[in-house]
């Protein structure tokens, strides 16, 4: 029996979101069927062999075509589904952590708590803090939400001066359709489980340039999530691209937002609480936000990191 490899390290790197390739037409249903099975049976001890057998391909071939089409391995996708469901239940129900553990495919409360804390940056109990839900970014058929810039400004984190040091990520985001409530964050992983190392937010935004300060050197994924208010054809859009920051500078040339795909891993991250560790140290405590005026009267909010 070949078991799905479950990446339990919070910063395990995913494949480049922009590097996904469509599988051969005859194999597309296999990928969609496997994803449907994961969403329907995430609470079961699924194995790679079982999923491959359901779509009538070998485990090796299935893992390869899945990763090419989705951008992550089957095991990482299943981990994302389980953690998303755990977060959703923590925020929307009064179930005990023990009940949630059994409901999302884990058999040990201790193992689940350790993996959840390592991936998310806070314990399951801490994740139930009301501010976590207020500042939640979620993208899944079961839960979709982007906090408004007003919520970011009004959260009890205060406004502070811009930090010294750190890299700068610049780029342009294409917002299709109506103006949107937009959050752009910098993450070390294509399937993030916790908040960004730095971010910017805008309200009533169309296609626009952006600047994100305070980004440590390294390889990052820049992800934008937008909520289009009113009778938009696509109420939520998303886009991402890889970025390298070296010696204090880095550039993302363009982010094009698109409608969520059925194959996208579910995402639920919060801008509240602890953030990602950098390569050499971890910043603890809740993020501090700096609100500044942007061109055209748009209000912009930046995450400000404490000095190292």
Residues 44-98: tens digit of each pLDDT: 999 999 999 999 999 999 999 999 999 999 999 999 999 999 999 999 999 999 9
| pLDDT higher than 90, residue 139 | yes
pTM (2 decimals)? Answer: 0.79
Please report the pLDDT score of residue 16 as a whole number.
45
Whether the predicted pLDDT of 26 surpasses 90: no
Report whether 248 contacts 163 (CB < 8 A): no
- CATH number for the region 1-128 comes to 1.10.10.60
User: What CATH fold (topology level) applies to the domain 140-304?
Assistant: Immunoglobulin-like (2.60.40)
* Range 251-279 average pLDDT: 80
Predicted local distance difference test score (pLDDT) of residue 253? 75
Q: Which residue has the higher pLDDT, 195 or 178?
A: 195
pLDDT value at residue 294:
36
For the chain, what are the domain ranges? 1-128, 140-304
How confident is the model over 266-279, as a mean pLDDT? 70
Q: How far apart are CA 110 and CA 88, in angstroms?
A: 19
Distance CA 28, CA 202 (A): 36
Band (171; pLDDT cuts 50, 70, 90): very high
Give residue 101's pLDDT band: very low, low, confident or very high (50, 70, 90): very high
In angstroms, the CA 198 to CA 195 distance is 8
Query: Do residues 224 and 255 touch, judged by C-beta distance below 8 A?
Result: yes
Q: Contact 86/78 with Cβ under 8 angstroms?
A: no
């Amino acid at each position: 029996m070949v078991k799905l490899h479950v990446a339990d390290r919070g910063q395990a790197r995913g494949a480049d979101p922009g590097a996904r390739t469509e599988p051969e037409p005859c194999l597309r249903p296999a990928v969609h069927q496997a994803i449907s099975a994961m969403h329907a049976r995430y609470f079961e001890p699924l194995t790679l062999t079982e999923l491959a057998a359901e779509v009538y391909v070998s485990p090796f071939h299935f893992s390869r075509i899945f990763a090419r089409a989705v951008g992550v391995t089957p095991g990482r996708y299943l981990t994302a589904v389980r953690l998303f469901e755990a977060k959703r239940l923590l925020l929307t129900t009064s179930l005990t952590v023990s009940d949630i553990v059994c409901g999302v495919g884990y058999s040990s409360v201790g193992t689940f708590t350790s993996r959840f804390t390592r991936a998310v940056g806070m314990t399951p109990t801490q994740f139930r803090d009301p501010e976590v839900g207020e500042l939640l970014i979620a993208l899944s058929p079961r839960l979709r939400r982007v906090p408004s810039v007003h919520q970011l400004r009004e959260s009890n984190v205060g406004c502070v001066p811009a930090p010294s040091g750190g890299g700068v990520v610049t780029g342009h985001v294409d917002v299709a359709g109506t103006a949107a409530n937009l959050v752009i964050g910098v993450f070390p992983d294509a399937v993030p489980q916790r908040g960004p190392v730095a971010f910017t937010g805008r309200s009533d935004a169309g296609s626009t340039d952006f600047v994100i300060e305070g980004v440590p050197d390294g390889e990052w994924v820049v992800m934008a999530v937008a909520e289009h208010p009113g009778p938009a054809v696509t109420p939520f859009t998303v886009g991402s691209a890889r970025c390298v920051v070296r010696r204090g500078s880095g550039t993302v040339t363009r982010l094009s937002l698109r409608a969520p795909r059925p194959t996208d891993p579910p995402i639920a991250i919060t801008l509240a609480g602890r953030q990602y560790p950098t390569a050499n140290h971890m910043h603890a405590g809740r993020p501090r936000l700096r609100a500044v005026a942007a061109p055209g009267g748009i209000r912009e909010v930046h995450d400000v990191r404490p000095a190292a």
